[in-house]
DNA sequence: GTGCTTGCAAAGAATTTGCATAATT
DNA sequence: AATTATGCAAATTCTTTGCAAGCAC
């Protein structure tokens, strides 16, 4: 619904402030990097993109933001961990099996089907996760 | 369709043979253990259940069977890896967030919705994964 | 100033690999 | 007998933790 085209740079930083965390340079740089990252990333990738920020800080910040709910942990089919900036609303992921890029998407019909499936199982659902694996345009092209 | 009620002990072993792998005691014991395991397991759990089988062998066997497609890798929301004996047909998972137990399920309506969602995304889908998180009966009871 | 953060290095946990030995075919 | 698999231990990879020094508030 919202059409704020630029949720950008302030979201993660704002979240950190909301948490009562201090606004330090490493955190600011990490937040900016994550927000401009196309798709999903691993802590390791962040760390090598910011060599002068300690790995520990990278992991601590990712953990902080994940617990705050603004980062979302995903993974490739083989379990390789990836994080992405979470949408404010519930959604799922389109994961490229070649490059690991993650696109969020949501689909009301799918949500309904998931809810129904859970009802069919007759259980106390607390959440769900849907991942569609594909080969993105770029990777398809690159592979010839 | 098939009503073989007892796919049991032979499936994993049969798969190993089909792969041209040798039928050794460790492999037989691991296969039997996985098949009778209720829900999903981690390599670590297998290893401690069979202390006299080397961890390396556990990991090698799990990898072998996963690549052969008879084991299926899943994970808790936090990424903790779990494996389960795969159903011969496509399916999804009901994962207990408390104990990690995994129940396979499938739901044609859900499959249809997933396929449609993929079509909407207009991409070359190569697969998908759906995980429903819940609290199983036992855990609900234990938690009071 | 006081207390939260950082970066480094060490500690851990999870998984893989090298290699001599043991077991399968 | 030839080859593959095992188990141990060392090596990797990923992530967390302890701690003194450095910033934010």
Provide the Cα torsion B99, B105, B111, B113; round to 10°: -50
Tell me whether strands B124-135 and B92-96 are parallel, antiparallel or unpaired: parallel
Residue A122's pLDDT is what? 56
CB contact under 8 A, B130 and A129: yes
**% of chain B exceeding 70 in pLDDT:** 86
B25-36 vs B10-18: helix axis angle to the nearest 10? 140
A78 or B21: which carries more pLDDT confidence?
A: B21
Chain A residues touching chain B at CB-CB below 8 Å: 73, 75, 77-79, 81, 92, 94, 97, 103, 105, 107, 109-110, 112-114, 116-118, 120-121, 123-137, 140
Closest by CA position to A94, among listed A106, A110, A80, A112: A106
pTM score of the predicted model: 0.74
Q: What is d(CA B25, CA A9) in angstroms, rounded to the nearest whole number?
A: 58
Closest by CA position to A110, among listed B80, B12, B74, B107: B107
Q: Which of A6-20, B29-43, B54-68 has the highest mean pLDDT?
A: B54-68
Confidence tier at B121 by pLDDT (50, 70, 90): low
Residue B134's pLDDT is what? 84
Residue B51's pLDDT is what? 94
Minimal-distance CA residue of chain A relative to B135? A124
Q: Report the greatest alpha carbon distance in chain A.
A: 51
Residue B38's pLDDT is what? 76
Q: Which of A31-40, B17-26, B119-128 has the highest mean pLDDT?
A: B17-26
Handedness of CA B79, A130, A82, A16 (dihedral sign): negative
Confidence tier at B6 by pLDDT (50, 70, 90): very low
Residue A52's pLDDT is what? 94
Handedness of CA B26, B32, B36, B39 (dihedral sign): positive
Q: A74, exposed or middle or buried, with CB in 10 Å at 0-12, 13-18, 19+?
A: buried
Q: Which residues touch strand C (CB under 7 A)?
A: A 20-22, 24, 26-27, 52-57, 60-61; B 22-25, 42-44, 55-56, 59-60, 63, 81
Confidence tier at B55 by pLDDT (50, 70, 90): very high
Question: Which runs of consecutive H residues, i.e. helices, occur in B22-107?
Answer: 25-36, 43-49, 55-68
- Average pLDDT for consecutive 10-residue bins of chain A (144 residues)? 40 87 95 87 94 96 92 82 79 80 82 78 74 82 71
Residue A76's pLDDT is what? 79
Q: What is d(CA B71, CA B87) in angstroms, rounded to the nearest whole number?
A: 9
Does residue B66 have a pLDDT over 50? yes
Average pLDDT (B89-113) is 81
């Amino acid at each position: 619904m919202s059409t704020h085209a630029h949720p950008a740079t302030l979201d993660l930083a704002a979240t950190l402030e909301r948490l009562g965390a201090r606004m330090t340079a490493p955190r600011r740089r990490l937040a900016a990097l994550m927000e401009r990252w196309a798709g999903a990333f691993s802590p390791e990738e962040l760390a090598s993109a910011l060599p002068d920020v300690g790995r520990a800080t990278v992991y601590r910040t990712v953990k902080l933001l994940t617990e705050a709910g603004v980062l979302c942990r995903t993974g490739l089919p083989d379990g390789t961990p990836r994080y992405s900036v979470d949408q404010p609303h519930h959604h799922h992921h389109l994961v490229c099996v070649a490059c690991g890029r993650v696109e969020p998407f949501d689909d009301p019909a799918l949500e309904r089907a998931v809810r129904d499936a859970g009802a069919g199982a007759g259980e106390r659902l607390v959440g769900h996760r849907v991942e569609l694996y594909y080969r993105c345009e770029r990777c398809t092209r690159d592979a010839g």
